[in-house]
Amino acid sequence: MSRLAELSLLIFFALATSVPSVAQLSNKTAPASPVGAITAERATSLAESGHCPEALPSLSRTAGHLADKDLQKRVALDGIRCATLLQRWDALLDFAQILNRQFSRDPEVLYVLVHAYSDLSNQATRELAQTAPNSLPALELDAEASELQGKWDEAEKDYRKILEENPRYPGIHFRLARLLLSRPNPPADFRDQAKKELQQELEIDPANAGAEYVLGELARQAGDFDEAIAHFRKATQFDPNFGDAYLGLGVSLSAQRKFAEAVAPLEMAVKLEPSNPAAHYSLGTAYSRTGRKSDAEHEFSLQEHAAAPGGQSPR
């Protein structure tokens, strides 16, 4: 199971010395008091002078209840660092949740959260390897590691082994289809093989929106728009927040010149993915073909903005 560790290193690039850690938060939502702020200041001073064991309990108690946002950020960041050093994974998660909730657009916080969640993932990976190295989830994680490294044959071998042990293990046929569609130099009939895997996945998990979406894409690329529409529609029913599925549905309806019918799914695609240029372009085209010229011009303008480097749709 050595590749379990490799997966953690591949997906995440955390160093324990640079990653913040956890703190256990009180469930109460009482407003901060001057005493609480003083306690928090003392705790940060302790943490920043290297006394994490003494600081962590106070950091945990105060982090969620501080009115001073600068102090709250400092407490949570110190809490993450101390929790990491002390391997208090429960506290690490709590501090990370506070930062994500209160400072979700702060670049420094986002950097720290990358490492924090990396540490949590690394820890879970280690525990899985230590406690159940021969389990199917461990084998699945091993296969994902191989897939990420482009070791297609090894990944397929592990996925097939999982199905040998449990033919109805969910998600594996979907991953095999993904392998077929992702790997370089696939066999000539790789699309047919992928469709077969996806259909087998749906026999196990009939509400798998991802499988329906990929089947829709395969049908759309083959020009079978009736089949594509059916699959995309199911994908949106199974996952109402699946923006790409709405886009595929709208594009397929437009390909059949059903522009009026395409408007609703394309509007949903734009709502869910406002920075997707293809969604704006497709909606603009549908508006244009249904006589909504001003709406079409607006969408084409948004499409140009979203397609510009670093651009986002200012909807």
Average pLDDT across the chain, whole number? 88
Q: For residue 57, how many other CB atoms are within 10 A of its CB?
A: 13
Tens digit of each residue's pLDDT (9 = 90 or more) over 267-304: 999 999 999 999 999 999 999 999 999 999 999 999 99
* Least confident stretch, 9-23, 96-110, 165-179, 180-194: 9-23
Set out the domains of the chain in order of their start, with CATH numbers.
2-131 (no CATH), 133-206 (1.25.40.10), 228-315 (1.25.40.10)
How many other β-carbons are positioned within 10 Å of the β-carbon of residue 177? 26
Reported as a pLDDT band with limits 50, 70 and 90, residue 167 is very high
Integer CA distances (angstroms), 181 to 190, 204, 230, 297, in order = 7, 21, 21, 36
User: Do residues 125 and 7 lie in contact, with contact meaning Cβ atoms separated by under 8 Å?
Assistant: yes
pLDDT of residue 16: 34
pTM: 0.71
DSSP output for 88-127: -HHHHHHHHHHHHHH-TT-HHHHHHHHHHHHHHHHHHHHH
Average pLDDT in the 77-96 region?
94
Contact 201, 173 (CB under 8 A): yes
Looking at the chain, the whole-number percentage of residues with pLDDT higher than 70 is 87
Contact by Cβ (8 Å): 25, 94: yes
SS3 content of the chain, % helix, strand, coil (to 5): 75, 0, 25
Q: Which residue has the tokens 């097939």?
A: 160
Position of tokens 């003392």? 42
Whether 11 has a pLDDT exceeding 70, the answer reads no
